[in-house]
Amino acid sequence: MRAKTSRFTGVRHRNIEGRGKWTARISVRCLDVPLGNFDDEEDAARAYDAAVVKYRGEPTVNFPGEAPLASMLAALPEIDDEDDAAQHWPSTSSEYDAIVAAAASDTAAPRQERSLAARRVAPPAPVPQKRLPTPPKPVEMRRVGDAEWRWFGTQADAARAFGVTTPDVSELVRNVSRASLREAFEARSARTAPPKKRKPTASRKRVKKLCVEGAAQKQNGKWVSQMFPGREFDDLDEYRAAKKQRKARLRKLYDQNKN
């Protein structure tokens, strides 16, 4: 036995995408008649009460003493037997909404109430999918015997440059063995951007510096040393003499400080 999902008779809760949360059904002479899907539980209960009054001739069950709306009664089909029910019962939701809307416009109650058609949940409209354009395929092509490849953005550009047709270029790229121009041209798939040409750079020859006793010789032939910053010597003899003078001064300062 199924557990009740609603506090009203003839109403069940369903979580179906694109439909109402509450559905109402009634059994008439062993015939299961669906009454529709609703967002509000009380609307589904009132639809069941209207079906009880119309099909069974009994008083309302869910809302005792409350007469069903004329729009709800008019939306229900006339059931004589199974064939008649199949003939009058709407097969699609749009047909059911049209019947309810027509009955509500003709026999609506004076008080302001929404019709059953307004309370039904319409399925979402399908969203059209846009197809993205296919990007062009770049190729590289050259004549047989040439050293450099030429880059082209499309196969059509390569065909115009070499005076051939686009299908010929496509055959050279896909299947070289079947291409009719394989003896004259070569083609292959390329990168999305043309290769960058490198600028020739002048080669710099490294000159090995000559170092002697802590002094290095410059290109102009003079000698420099970190011992004498900012000073240049014409030859090594001058540099050695300056070293001796420096050593003598340091020795003299050392003796003075020692005494």
- Shared domain for 15 and 114, answered yes or no, is yes
Residue 129 forms part of a structural domain = no
Q: How far apart are CA 104 and CA 69, in angstroms?
A: 9
Q: Is the pLDDT of residue 124 over 80?
A: no
CB 43 within 8 A of CB 71: no
Domain count, the chain: 3
Last residue of a domain, one of 119, 153, 175: 119
Given a contact cutoff of 8 angstroms between Cβ atoms, the answer to whether 115 and 108 are in contact is yes
Is 4 within the bounds of a domain?
no
Same domain, residue pair 146 and 234: no
Are 167 and 158 in contact by the 8 Å Cβ rule? The answer is no
**Are 22 and 76 part of one and the same domain?**
yes
List Cβ neighbours of 136 (8 Å cut-off, separation of 6 or more): 153, 154
Q: What is the pLDDT of residue 96?
A: 55
pTM listed for this prediction: 0.33
Q: Would the pLDDT of 136 be above 60?
A: yes
Task: Give the structural domain span for 145.
Answer: 139-189
Per-residue pLDDT, averaged over 147-156, amounts to 88
Per-residue pLDDT of 75-85, as tens digits, reads 776 775 544 44
pLDDT in tens, 229-256: 888 888 888 988 998 998 898 888 888 8
Same domain, 158 and 253: no
- Per-residue pLDDT, 204: 61
154: pLDDT strictly greater than 80: yes
Domain assignment present for residue 72? The answer is yes
Q: Which of 62, 86, 119 is the last residue of a domain?
A: 119
